[in-house]
Amino acid sequence: MERIEIEIDEETLARARKLAEARRCSLDELVTAFIQEETKPISSIDTMLGMFADEPGLLDEVVEAAMQARARDPLRQTVG
């Protein structure tokens, strides 16, 4: 393990300390967790479109149904 020094302003340091306290961890652990979270591969993030990666035909059907509903049911309806 390597030791480093960083310079941050007092306000940021105070916020980091409060966050570490709230998470019941040290500043070292907080920074490590942040770096691990921010460097996760993008492919591991499950997005709505990613859920359809193996079903392109199904996604086409969903989009088509949405477009038909949009044409049939306008968003702005005048009352009166």
Asked whether the predicted pLDDT for residue 51 surpasses 90, the reply is no
Q: With 80 as the cut, is the pLDDT of residue 38 above it? A: yes
More confident residue, 40 or 20: 20
From CA 55, how far away is CA 60, in angstroms rounded? 9
Instruction: Give the residue extent of every domain in the chain.
Output: 1-39, 46-74
pLDDT of residue 76: 74
Which has more confidence, 78 or 72?
Answer: 72
The whole-number pLDDT of residue 36 equals 92
Level-2 CATH architecture, domain 1-39: Orthogonal Bundle (1.10)
- End-to-end Cα spacing for the chain: 72
